Amino acid sequence: MSTLSVKPRVSGMAIPAIRQVEVARSLAWLRLGWGDFRRSWPVSLSYGVLFSALGWSLMAWARDSAHLTMTLISGFALVAPFLAIGFYAISSRLEHGLDAGGPLQALTSLRRNAASIGLFALMLAFMLSAWERVSALLVGLFLRNDLIVSGYFSLLLLFDADHLGFVIAYLALGAILAGLVFALAAVSLPMMMDRPVDVVTAVVTSLCTVWHNPLPMLVWAAIITVLTLAGAMTAFIGLAVLFPLLGHATWHAYRDLVASG
């Protein structure tokens, strides 16, 4: 952990000090996250399997809709910070020398700051809804009518030169939205679970964390993206392990980046 820290000055807000870390620090977060997963694997893996099964079921439900299929694959990253809240709770308990607990312990953690966490969840839901509408618009503008009517869709479509305009627009807009969500959620949800802070303070802290650690957080965002895509490309089966790993690692990222007090 780096000893260099910055105290952001934001009018009307008590923002905690932000630690500045080395570029490769995300590898340590993954290692610590894997350690938590190994210590709590019955509970963590159960959560992971549940989300993996849910993702697969939603994909099966949306198989006849091109834009819904793409929205579910890409939109998972938008709501994942909230869905991983159970893993933050497990890592917090392990940090304090307790056992992993279960769903009731995770709900208890939510209850301590339910209003702020709920508002943040609503914000993520709004962003997912907006992304679904954008996906539908892009499909309608760029893809052939026969693809829309038949519902045929394959990820190989993204490598088809006939749809280059769609690929560029979809990836560009998706990257902007995903980057915004990452900046807003990098440490905000773990912080709201750990401290009695309001949603605005938590979000501003997250933005300050990214601002003062641009390269480390860029590497962290890239790792999250690659692992999430790897899990999604295996029909969400890989997420049974990768999602808990990233959830636990995110807790350690928060503890590393945001000073206590």
Whole-number Å distance between alpha carbons of 184 and 205? 9
Mean pLDDT of 167-176: 87
Q: What is the pLDDT of residues 196-234, one digit of tens each?
A: 999 999 999 999 999 999 999 999 999 999 998 888 888
- Asked if residues 85 and 188 have their Cβ atoms less than 8 Å apart, the reply is no
pTM of structure = 0.89
Mean pLDDT of 41-48: 92
- Asked if residues 139 and 66 have their Cβ atoms less than 8 Å apart, the reply is yes
Mean pLDDT of 112-122: 91
Nearest Cα residue to 76 out of 36, 120, 132? 132
Q: 105 or 117, which is more confident?
A: 117
Half-sphere exposure in the Cβ direction for 8 (13 Å, CA): 25
Average pLDDT in the chain: 85
| Least confident span in 48-52, 164-168, 178-182, 254-258 | 164-168
Write out the two tokens for 232.
Answer: 């999604």
Percent of the chain scored above 70 by pLDDT?
86
Whole-number Å distance between alpha carbons of 100 and 37? 10
CA dist list (Å): 38 to 32, 41, 83, 218, 223: 10, 5, 20, 27, 20
pLDDT value for 152: 40
Q: 245 or 56, which is more confident?
A: 245
- Asked if residues 254 and 190 have their Cβ atoms less than 8 Å apart, the reply is yes
Whole-number Å distance between alpha carbons of 101 and 116? 23
CA dist list (Å): 237 to 36, 55, 86: 20, 9, 19
pLDDT value for 163: 72
Nearest Cα residue to 205 out of 214, 192, 218? 192
Q: What is the pLDDT of residues 65-77, one digit of tens each?
A: 666 777 777 788 8
Q: Rounded to the nearest 5°, which phi and psi values hold at 102? A: -150, -165
Residue spans per domain, the chain: 44-257
